[in-house]
Amino acid sequence: MKKGLSLVEVLVAIVLLSVVIGAMLQIKSNNMFLLKRFNKNSESNSYISMTADINEFKDQTIRLENVVKNTDDTLRREFKQHKVEVRVSQDKIIKMPPNDYIQTASIKKAKYTLDNKNSKLFYKFELELK
């Protein structure tokens, strides 16, 4: 009875290990890509949210450098590169049943687009009182 491994058994083990390592590297590469994309989307959503806080539902172009004041030079340079386009439209006007307080209700939709790439929708509900 022999006590060692044959050459074929060693080659099969090496092939199996290389397949497993290759699959793990591919999974790592995919995860890194998804993580970078998530971070970029998260950053874009943060920038859009910053401008949504100051905008009064008007059509306009907002530069991020004008939104954030008193920042250091690194952030100011980064903000200088970005602008947010705001487009507002009337989404729906709701006629209210006869009552003593509210005449009509309307829903406005604002689309915020960062650098013509990422966009986010915001809705505003307005009541017109009598």
Residues 24-54: pLDDT tens digits? 999 999 999 999 999 998 988 888 888 887 7
User: What does the alpha-carbon distance between residue 121 and residue 88 come to, in Å, rounded to a whole number?
Assistant: 10
Domain residue extents for the chain: 7-129
* Secondary structure (H, E, C), 73-114: HHHHHHHHCCEEEEEEEEEEEEECCCCCCEEEEEEEEEEEEE
What's this model's pTM, rounded to 2 decimal places?
0.64
Per-residue pLDDT at 1: 62
Does the structure show a pLDDT above 70 at 6?
yes
Taking only the tens place, the pLDDT of each residue in 107-125 is 888 899 998 888 899 888 8
